[in-house]
A and B are shown apart, each in its own frame.
Chain A
Amino acid sequence: MIPATARTHPAFAYLRAHRGRPATWSDRYTSVFGLLVAAAVLGRPVAEALAGLARHADPARLGAGLALVAAAYAGFLALARAFGPVMLPAADAAWLVTSPLPRRAVLSRTALLLLSAAVLAGAALGLAALSVFGAPGELGVRLAAALALGVAAGVGGMATAVLGQQSPAADTRLQFLIAGMFSVAVLAAVSGSGPGRRILAAVAEAPASLGAAVAGVASVVAAFLARRAWAALDRIPARRILASSTRTARVTSAATMLDPGMLTWVAEDVHWRGRALRSRPWPRLVSRLGPAAALAWQEWLRVGRRPGRLAALFGVAALPAVCADAVGGSAPAAGVLLCGALTAAAMCTGGARRDGGDPALARMLAVDGRAATAARAVLPALLAAAWSALALAGLQAAGALPAGAWWALGPAAAPALAAGALRMARRRPVDHSMPVIDTPGGAVPTGPLIWAATGPDVALLGSLPALAALVTRPADVVPYVAAQAVAGAAVLAAFVLRSVRRARE
């Protein structure tokens, strides 16, 4: 508990008095009315969705479903860790954290917000898990147990993240938890359709009382962790809160200015700040290949410096197969495949992105635009080729594709994916002066739309033969591979020929 003297400190009274106007009756009426309207609109669909849970689980999709839930939980933990999670608005962080005010009192509002976020995320995870395992009987008990288990996981995970911010040892434990959840996701995806299916089916058929007992134990553990996190708030070093607050302020600024490109810069700066690097000379062979190859070599260095990210990238190459297993049909898997391969290519375009945002170094290096683009396309194409070949092999192994050299579609599409990734890296910030189009579905701002489509458009266009093959699943894939190879090479060639560095004002 916060001591009464801390709550009544004159500084807090001053801040309360100067932070906006107090809520009026009109504000309260609007809030309550909004909640009632939301309940009226959402009540029926939610009730129908909950009633739809009263069914037996589909054993074929248990593994993939559980994999997606575990991956989502790991993502939740990773996000909490990346953001802090304890942070304050920039002004509060600068003035209050470094003041002699009781730290826990300063952070109590943040703690309440984190708890709310954890409860909501946990409840969503619990419902997702219940939709995977189904509720063959006693829907009420199973629903309550799933919600309790999800909320306990959410609150416990958030508390672990707060503890991780306080001490490096706890942060290591949090990283193990995140890695463990990703491993569970991979294990469930791999073994869910094989040896693990029987175990998962047994879990789905377990009595509701067992689920309630597990939820009870989880709630006790979560409450214990939350109590420790609450106590730790007083001991979180000010520099960690300041760092996470600055990071969040930049991310918020990027979000409010609707400039998602800034987020990549924030992430890169956060990763490299304060790191000592082992400098390596430029290989003679690369220098002999010319200025463009020397310029592009930096991407190889960067990729080599983040082996964890590379391993994670190839780890998620199983995602299209998991998606095909969980959702059924090849169209969603093809979409995931295209997104994943484009992400793989975009992972090594940091230099082009920097030159697009600030061309000062590009001018100093004075490398010919076309030669630089061609040299910079090599690594993204190689990564996209390897990732998509692996993902296609996974799809074939999962039985989503017939026999044949389907993996070859990946390398054939890779040049087009590299062109798309480089186009993404060079796109300018969102142009908010673009017109807003009124449609029956609401107003559509074209600026963000065009920004989001710049890059994926070229990748999609250049990958059409591969996507057509994945959707139609022909008996002989070779003609599609040939068409894809021609399309991929043509798109990259056209992109390189058109690439002339633009002067920026």
Chain B
Amino acid sequence: MKPIDDDTLQAYADGELDAAASARIDAALAHDEILARRVRQARALRAQLRAAFDPVLDEPVPARLSARLRPASPPAAGTAVLRPMPAARRGLAGPRQRPARRRWVPGAAIAASVALLAMALWWRQDGGLIRMHDGQRFAAGTLSQALDRGLASRPDPHAPIAIGLSFRSKDGSICRTFTERTRPAMAGLACHAPAGWSLAALEPAEKPAGGPWRQAASSLPAAVQAAVDARIKGEAFDARQERAARDAGWR
């Protein structure tokens, strides 16, 4: 039998040998403790190297690197100052010049926009369930309609928005919780004001385990529940009070 050289032993330890060659080493290792120890050393070193460098895989990737690969970032961002091409100013820019007009988004802004992603998706998907007025968020579209007309005591299973609790708040206005039935679902608290339904809270909704969306009151996100607790005066409306409040225009 040929003696086993270092390179072959290492190839064995690294799983590089074919079955026949491996079997030959297996046989040799069985009665050669020195050889077996060298194989263990080679494998241990490999494991230690993985232990030393694998944690890099779990580190957050610096934003300067990942931002470089986002479609929104221009091809030369971070290394070159982008100047508008003269052609672009004359309105002759082809597709290749278009990225130059995009703004470079710094890492912090990207992180912030990720945090707002759920809300942004929601806005877009429903074509405006929120409108801004004097810097405040107000219900719009089907959300506004659901808050105006919907009754928790007579839920409409086909409506896109489920109404939860209605109650009078400490400042005298009537507030209602709501949960979206379609994903990505949002849940929130809206309080009636002269300008419409002002959104006091808006959070991604969590579907209760096995339960339907209309059990909105019990499955409100914690932040929405906290907003309710901070405002509610007395008890939530019962069916009769809810209907009466609607008929009175939520005043």
Q: Do A and B bind each other?
A: no
- Interface on A for B, CB 8 Å cutoff? none
- Interface on B for A, CB 8 Å cutoff? none
